[in-house]
Chain A
Amino acid sequence: MTKLTLLQINNLEIEFPSRKSVLRAVDNVSLSLEKGDILGIVGESGAGKSTVGNALIGLLEPPGQMTKGEIFLDGNRIDNLPDSEKQKIRGKEIGMIFQDPLTSLNPLQTIENQLVETINLHLELGENDARQRAVELLDQVGIPDPDVRVKQYPHQFSGGMRQRVVVALALCAEPNLIIADEPTTALDVSIQAQILDLMRGLCKEKQVGMVIITHDMGVIADITDRVAVMYRGRLVEHGATEKILGNPDHPYTQSLISAVPRPDIKLIRFPQVTYIEDVAEKNTEIDITEHWLGKAREYETAPGPLVELKNISMRFTTKPAFLRKNRIFLDAVNNVSLDIHEGEVFGLVGESGSGKSTVARIICGLYTPVSGAINFAGTELTALKKQSDLDPFRKQMQMIFQDPYSSLNPRMRVLDIVAEPILFHQLAETRREVEIIVKDLLEHVGLGAQSAVRYPHEFSGGQRQRISIARALATRPRFLICDEPTSALDVSIQAQILNLLKDLQEELGLTMLFISHDLPVIRQMCDRVGVMKDGFLCEMKETEVLFENPEHEYTQHLLNLMPRLEGLSLEGLDMQPQPNQN
C-alpha cells in the first residue's frame, strides 16, 4: 500500500454483556479509509453501525466493550489509549457530527463562545485569532453574515443552519477524520441536500476523511465514495458506491437495494425481500364474498366521490388568552378542497408542518374544522353533532398511525387491542367469535394467531405496525387513512408493510388516503396525489402525470430535491408498464 491509510480497523469485535446473555453488536469488522475519501456505513437498525462509530471515537456506551480488534489512525493505534489521551484525539484528530442539531449545541452559549472554546482547547491560537477563525469557519459552512451571526445563540438559527454550525464545530481543530452519525436524519429533504453538498465539498477541499453512518440509501448515493454494508453486526459487503448500488453481490445488499422505494419508476409491488424479520408469509387470499371482512359491506353507494372536503380550514391556538384579541393562532389548513373516489389511493405529500396530518385528523373526526364541510358517501359529517350519529361512519373509516411505538396501548394484550373496535361496534355475537376473528386478522397481516396473547412491547416496529393495521381492519372499514405508516421503519420493513397495504387494498377494495413526506413512497403507492405547503393545497393530479410534468413551482422544487438514486440495480424488479402519454 503506497498511499497512507488514514483510518484502519482490523477485526473489530464489540460485545454488550447483559444479565442473561452477551450480545455481540459488532462481529469481525475490518475497514479502511484514505484521506479525502468518504466512506458510508449503511445498515438497518440494530446492525451495529452506530456502535462502530462510537468505538472509533472511544465513546462506547457501557456496558459495551471492545473484545477484539485494533483501530489505527494515521498509523497509530488509538483503541488502547488511556481515556485522557482519547479525549485529546476527539475534536483534535477526529471531529464528530451528530444526528440532532437541537441537542448538540449548548443553548445558553453564543455560537462564538462554543466555537472559540473548542478552538482554544485544541489549537494554540490567541483569543483574537480564535475569534477570527470562528468567523471564517461559519463562512466556510455557508452561513451568511458570519460576523453578525457568530454572536447569536443557537435558538436564533433554523434547523439546517444549526447543523451547519455543528459541521463548523467538527472542523474547528482541523481534524483529519470526521465521523457523522445520521447527520441529516432530523432534517427536511431540502436542507438535507444542502448539508450533504457542503460536507462533500469540505471533505474534498480539505482532504479530510469522513465516515458517514446512515440508514438512508439516498444519502449514500449522494455523497459517498465507498460503502460498507452491515447486517446484524457483520460486514456483508464493502466496495465502491456505484458497484454496491448498481451490482451488489451479497443477497442481503440485493434485497436491501430492491426495497428502496424508487423515485423513477412505479413498481407493481416490492420484490419479496428476504433477509428480514420472520413474518408468517401470507398464504391465504381473502375471498371477499365469504370472509368476515366482506360481510355487511352493502353500504349504499352514493354517486360522486367517497370523501369530499369542501373549503376546509383549521386553526390552532398557539397562545391561549382570556381575551380573544390576545390569542395567537396558527392556520394549519387553509381552504383545502379535495375529493377521493371509491377504490383509489390518494396521496398527500408535503414537508413537515404543511398540514397534511391535520387534514387526515379532520377527516376522521379527531379535529373539528373551523369552517368547511366534509362529505362521506353523500352524508355531511360536519353537520352531525351527536357521537352516536357518527358511529356508523367511524366504523367505515379507520386510521393507521405513524409511530408504531406509541400507537398501541402498552398495557393491553394484542388480542384486546384488536378486539376493541369489534366489541365497540358490536360486529360479532360472542366473545369466542371475536377471538376467532382477531386471530384470523392477525394471520392476514402476517403475524401468527399465537401473537394474540402477547403484549405490544414484545414486537418490533414493523410487527407493531401490522397490529395497527389489523386493528384498523377490525371495523370492516372501506376507507383507510395511513398517516406516514412507514416513516419510522427500516427500508426493508417499509417494503413489506407497503406490500401488505397494497395487497389488502386490492383484496378488500379499500379506498385509501396515504400521507407521506417521502415522494418515492408516494409514487409507489398512490393513484392520485395532492401536494401541500403551509396549509394550502398546491397541486392535485394523477401520480404519474405529477411526477413527469409538475406544474406548480413548489412541486417542481420538491421533485428536484428528491434523491435521484441513479444507478440502482434493476434486477428482479416487478415493473409497471409505462403509462401512455396521452
Chain B
Amino acid sequence: MTENKYPISLLDFLGQMRDSDLWFSFTRSPVIVTSACVTLLYLIVTIFAPLIAPHDPFDLASIDLLDASLPPFWMDDGEFRFILGTDDQGRDILSTIIYGSRISLFVGFASVIFSLILGVGLGLISGYVGGRLDAFIMRVADVQLSFPAILIALLVDGLARTLLPREHHDEVALYVLVFAIGISGWVQYARTVRGQTLVEKGKEYVQAARVIGIRKWTILLRHILPNVTGPVLVIATIHLAIAIITEATLSFLGVGVPPTTPSLGTLIRIGNDFLFSGEWWITIFPGVALVLLVLAVNLLGDWLRDALNPKLR
C-alpha cells in the first residue's frame, strides 16, 4: 500500500488519455495531427542531430571549398551528397539547418521556461498579495507592454555587449539571448496568472484551507498554482513560436547567436547576401524550415487553446 502511493499507473493514465475529450478533438483534426508530427520530427531530429545530420558543418576538416555553392541535387550541377546544396564555404545546407534548428529550439524552449517561471511567479504573488505590490508589478508590466518585445530584447543584448568583455561575449551570447527573449515575454504570463489567481483566491476551497490554518505560501503553491496552469500551457505553446521567431529576427539583425554556431535566423541572414547572385537555396531552405516549425507550433497552440476552452466546445 505505502509503496504504491498513487494507485493510478501509467497504463491507466494512458487509458484515461485515450478516453478524454482532448485526445478525441486531437484525432479529429488532420491538420493538428500533422502539426504534432512535424513538431515531434523537429524535436527528434534536433536532439539527435549529430547522429542524423549527413555532415558536421562545424568540422573544418570535412569542409572542402571545392564543394562551395553547389545547388540542390536535382539541379544540373547538384550532387547527391548535398541534398539541399551547399553554402559559399562548402557546408551542407541540410546539416546546417539541422544544427541551426537545434539552436533555435533550444533558445525557444529556454526562453519560454524563463518567462514562464518569472511570469507565473510574479502573477501569483501579484494576484494573491494584492495591494501596493500588485499595483507596482502590474504597472511595470504595463510599461513593458508599451515597448515592442523585440526592442526590449535588443536593449538587453546591447547592454550585455557593453558590459561584458568582448572576448567572453561569444561564449555567453546564447544565454544573453535566452535572457533577452525571456525577459520580454513574462508579462503575458503574469497578467493571465494574476487574473486567474484573483478568481481562484475567492473560491471557497482557498478559504477552507485558510480556516484549517495553512500558511499563505503553501496555499499559493499547493492550491492555487495547480489551478492556474491550464491557460499558462496554452500561452507557453504560442509563446514558443513567438520566441523562435524573435530569436530568428535578432539573429537576422546580427545581434543574436554568433556566426560560429548559426541558428536558423543567422543562416537566413548569411544566405540573404547570395540571393541576388542566384544561390537562392542558401537562404530559402532555412527560411522554409523556420516557417514550417513556427507554423506547426502555432497551430498546436491555437488548437490547445480552443480545445481547453470549455466555451468553444
Contact = CB atoms under 8 A, between A and B. Distances in A.
Contact of B215 (A387, A410, A412): A387
B227 A409 contact: yes
A411 interface: yes
Contacts of A432: 1-2
Contact of A424 (B2, B204, B213): B213
Interface stretch (A288-296, A400-408, A563-571): A400-408
A406 B213 contact: no
B211 interface: yes
Given A401-B207, A407-B205, A420 B214 contact: yes
A366 B210 contact: yes
A471 interface: yes
Given A410-B227, A453-B8, A475 B207 contact: no
A424 B210 contact: no
A395 B214 CA distance: 11
A319 interface: no
B169 interface: no
Given A403-B204, A408-B205, A453-B7, A394 B213 contact: yes
A3 interface: no
B135 to A, nearest CB: 10
Given A402-B204, A411-B226, A366 B211 contact: yes
A401 to B, nearest CB: 4
B11 interface: no
Nearest to B8: A453
Interface residues of B, number: 20
Interface string B168-209: 000000000000000000000000000000000001110111
A424 B214 contact: yes
Given A401-B204, A408-B205, A424 B1 contact: no
Contacts of A391: 213
B285 to A, nearest CB: 43
Contacts of B161: none
B212 to A, nearest CB: 4
Nearest to A391: B213
B73 interface: no
A364 B211 contact: yes
B204 A407 contact: yes
Contacts of A471: 208
Contacts of B7: 453
Contact of B211 (A365, A387, A403, A431): A365
A434 to B, nearest CB: 11
Given A19-B24, A402-B204, A411 B211 contact: no
Contacts of A394: 211-213
Contacts of A397: 211
Interface string B208-224: 11111111000000010
Contacts of A399: 207-208, 211
A468 B208 contact: yes
Given A19-B24, A399-B208, A431-B2, A406 B215 contact: no
Nearest to A453: B7
A395 B205 CA distance: 17
B12 to A, nearest CB: 11
A159 interface: no
A364 B211 CA distance: 6
A398 interface: yes
B302 to A, nearest CB: 22
Contacts of B215: 387
B211 A420 contact: no
Interface in A20-65: none
Interface string B1-28: 1100001100000000000000010000
A148 B227 CA distance: 49
Nearest to A468: B208
A401 B210 CA distance: 13
B211 to A, nearest CB: 5
Nearest to B214: A424
Contacts of B213: 387, 390-391, 394-395, 424-425
Contacts of B209: 409, 420
Nearest to B5: A431
A421 interface: yes
Q: Which of B7, B8, B208, B214 has the most CB of A within 10 A?
A: B208
A475 B212 contact: yes
A421 B209 CA distance: 8
A247 to B, nearest CB: 41
A307 to B, nearest CB: 15
A398 B204 CA distance: 13
Given A410-B227, A412-B226, 14 more contacts: A364-B211, A366-B207, A387-B213, A394-B212, A395-B213, A399-B208, A407-B203, A407-B207, A407-B208, A409-B205, A411-B226, A412-B223, A420-B209, A424-B213
Q: Which 7 A-B pairs have the closest CB atoms?
A: A407-B204, A394-B213, A401-B204, A411-B226, A406-B203, A421-B212, A409-B205
6 contacts: A361-B207, A387-B213, A399-B208, A401-B207, A411-B227, A471-B208
